[in-house]
Structure 1
Amino acid sequence: MFITYAILAALMSVVLLASASAKFTRPKRLVDQMSTLGLPYRMLPFLGVAQVAGAAGLIIGLWRGPLGIAAAVGLTLYFIGAVAAHLRAGDHKGAPPAGVLTIVAVVLIALRAATL
């Protein structure tokens, strides 16, 4: 199970870092989406930092199990918030990807907890 956690944590970290990069570079598509969701423009750096911290926590969690679990819990909450924001704004196309990432974060919690 540890190898499964390591692979899934690495893949999730790549996704998180790509998403964080977009939040820091602020492409028009992302800025428009945040506006549609009703999130202020100034939230983008905070969201990017949260994603970088989550990715780092998952990777460090390879050696420090409780930190990996804490990172996955934080990401679960982050993506639950993303799903809620999309649904509240009526963006039914944006909710499923955030929902999938929520599920992946929950699986990461279970995998890392099983390998402590």
Structure 2
Amino acid sequence: MSTAYVIVTVAAAAAMLVASGIDVFRAQWVRDNMSAYGLPEWTLYPLAVVKAAGAAGLLAGLAVAPLGLAAAICLVLYFLGAIATILRARAYGDLGYPMPYLVLAAGSLALFVAS
């Protein structure tokens, strides 16, 4: 397990937990975005759970490798879905929001595969 993998994975997990917390506390800008994307507000909590579970999986993957792999794959797919949702809503200005999370999850996945 490389040092780069550990650093990127911990950073990705921390970012996912922050994103999850933003969803749980239902920041107004997040609710506005959800509405613009055509998603009901109640979906914030399930999406927060997915992000928190992904963060837990990334951290658990430092001890049990298959969990980290599964979590990284699922988070990459999650954020690709977020990007697809933004594109579907034609809210192109919002594409920058999920990109850092996608890059962190993809980085964790790529470093896992490389190690």
Tell me if both proteins adopt one fold, taking TM over 0.5 as the criterion: yes
Size of the aligned set, in residue pairs, is 115
Output the TM-score relative to the length of structure 2. 0.91
How far did residue 105 of structure 1 move?
1.8
2:97 alignment partner, SS class: helix
| 1:13 positional shift | 1.3
Give the structure 1 partner of residue 28 of structure 2: 28
Segments of 5+ residues of structure 2 without an aligned counterpart are none
One-letter code aligned to 1:5:
Y
Identity %: 37
Q: Deviations over 1:44-91 (max 9, x none)?
A: 000000000000011111111111010000001100000001111111
1:106 aligns with 2:99: no
Asked if 1 retains the 8 angstrom alpha-carbon contact of 2:23 and 2:44, the reply is yes
Aligned-residue CA RMSD in angstroms? Answer: 1.4
Match of 1:73 in 2: 73
After TM superposition, the score normalised by the length of structure 1 is: 0.91
Moved more, 57-66 or 91-100: 91-100
2: distance between equivalents of 1:114 and 1:32? 39
Q: Which runs of 4+ in 1 moved over 2 A?
A: 99-104
**Structure 1 residues 102, 91: CA separation in 2 closer, same or farther (over 3 Å shift)?**
same
